[in-house]
Amino acid sequence: MTDTRVPVGVATGIGSWPGTDPRMAAEIVVGELPGLPHLVELPARGVGADLIGRAAALLVDMPLDTSTTGYRLAQRPGAATRAARDFLARDLDALEEAWELAGLRGSNRPVKVQAVGPLTLAAHTELFGGHRVLTDRGALRDVTESLAEGVANHVAEAARRLGSPIVVQFDEPSLPAVLAGSLPGVSILQSPPALPEPEALDLVQRAVGTVGVPTTIHCCAPDLPWNLLRRSGATMIGFDVSTLRTADLDGVGRLLDDGVDLGLGLVPTASDPVPGWRDLAEPATRLLDRLGFPREYLASRVAVTPACGLTGASLDRARDVLRGAAELTRAFADGADPDARR
């Protein structure tokens, strides 16, 4: 891949999408997100289709199966792993078909694929005995390496089938809880302890380094560990702008100072109708103004995304959210001023 970073000045999705029809989803995403379409996840299909379940299709030599509380490492591939692999194959088929119909094969237009990050995966996957993978340092390292190898294989397959460069998004919604030690355990006395930040950083860096393509890390939870994210090796960090507090500003500013771009979650997923571009732009312009960076960064250092995933939205709402994101990036590219008289 010739570019060394995740595309900026574009709109893209987070990953999850409503419904169960991968072909319809692929057609909408390719049509509405010309700058950076993504391979969607369709959790409504059930086991093997959600964020953690998709990992069952990616992990190398570490099968997952279901337990009474979620997913668990297994001795051999079971129904959950088979379902996850089938869902992923269908999703790739659908995206490849939409890509061909749009005449984009060989266009060098990038595509984003998503995977759960290693820390969130370890936080929501159990060992054979029922404890979280997060509680076993050896298992945590093994799961990280298996996931990273699987995502690298996934990238190679997607690039071959689409004839396009691929970028990766690691989703880490549980990252703050992992570092804070606030995840529940199998009993009140067996909650996973906080993972020290240096260990967490090492695992994230291993995953990012192994995939071998530009990577973004996304988390729409509050209290993000900005120092860890800045040093992760990802070229972009994505977050929900509405979660930012004054204490977060220094961390965001250091990302930009160090050349790390921003994936700004600016389009609310539950607003009806989706606000116009001026209202959507206001949190972004206010953020850059407070940080002292030029508003031109909105076109040169920022990608626009929904605030978070779209699983719970209606299909029409999800489409409108993507259109709102795309409209906003066009306004940023044109240098439109949301503060000008309406």
pLDDT above 80 (res 2): no
Rounded Cα–Cα distance for residues 65 and 54 (Å):
12
Q: Identify whether 4 is part of a domain.
A: no
Q: Identify whether 15 is part of a domain.
A: no
More confident residue, 291 or 1: 291
> Terminal CA-to-CA distance of the chain, rounded, Å?
42
Which CATH number goes with the domain that contains 110? 3.20.20.210
Range of the domain at 273: 22-333
- What pLDDT score was predicted for residue 186? 61
Q: Identify whether 11 is part of a domain.
A: no
Average pLDDT over residues 213-220: 98
Q: Identify whether 211 is part of a domain.
A: yes
pTM of the model as a whole: 0.96
Contact indicator for 305, 12 with CB cutoff of 8 Å: yes
Q: Identify whether 311 is part of a domain.
A: yes
Q: Identify whether 342 is part of a domain.
A: no
Q: What is the total count of domains within the chain? A: 1
CB atoms within 10 A of CB 142: 17
Q: Identify whether 12 is part of a domain.
A: no
Q: Which residues contact 255 (CB under 8 A, 6 or more apart)?
A: 226, 229, 230, 237, 261, 262
Share of the chain above pLDDT 90, in %: 89
Name the amino acid, one letter, at 235: T
Average pLDDT over residues 324-328: 98
Q: Identify whether 9 is part of a domain.
A: no
